[in-house]
Amino acid sequence: MRGGTLDAPTRAAARTLFPNAAIHVFYGAAETSFITLTDADTPDGSVGKPYPGVKIRLTDGTIATRSPYAFNGYLGAGSPHTRRDGDWLTLGERGWQDADGNLYLQGRAGRMITVADRNIFLDAVTDTLAPLAHPRHLAVIARPDPLRGARASVVVSGPPDATLGATLADACAHAFGLRAAVTFHPDFPLRPSGKPDLAALEAP
């Protein structure tokens, strides 16, 4: 799931502990359950091919699924990015597929910012930087910028580490052309699921 990516260090550790095991990673959400599943042939950076029984449709980069595992609806207000078109359900996630049907994620519409007229998916930035900070928690949030529209801010759990901060800033600049501030949070907030509490991090 988004926010629960199996990063390279964890994958390597699992292979060391279970050398004869086949490692499969699924991508999905609470609203959809399973969407895709990886196998030994899945290319790096992909979340795999459609899970059995699931169909995927991309419209202008927005991912929609037709699935027997989809939820019926929210009890409360839900997400403004969740929409239905007949049997098809989208959560506003964006991505693309290669010629073999492998799906690659860019991020959710609600996690996209515009920096100097460029659209940047904060989830993509997180996925790139998180392995570099492992085993610390890491989140990328948006801050307003009067000149560029928005800017990315990288927040890492634990005490300050100048070397790690420089590594993350350089990686962000190299991969996305972003000049991101890196800060460290000794009491990094987590949700009950173990994912970063983005709302708490984004609060002033």
Query: What average pLDDT does the segment 24-51 reach?
Result: 92
User: Does the pLDDT at position 4 exceed 80?
Assistant: no
Cβ neighbors of 100 (< 8 A, separation 6 or more) are 49
Q: What is the pTM (predicted TM-score) of this model?
A: 0.73
Query: Per the CATH hierarchy, to which homologous superfamily does domain 8-108 belong?
Result: Luciferase; Domain 3 (2.30.38.10)
Find out whether 164 and 199 touch, Cβ atoms under 8 Å: no
- Please give the average per-residue pLDDT across 143-157, as a whole number: 88
% of the chain beyond a pLDDT of 90: 64
Across residues 164-186, what is the average pLDDT?
A: 95
Domain topology for 116-202: GMP Synthetase; Chain A, domain 3 (3.30.300)
- Angle at which helices 162-176 and 122-133 cross, to 10°: 140
Residue spans per domain, the chain: 8-108, 116-202
| pLDDT confidence of residue 107 | 84
pLDDT in tens, 90-111: 999 999 999 999 999 988 877 8
- Give mean pLDDT, residues 31-57: 94
Checking if the pLDDT of 3 tops 50, the result is no
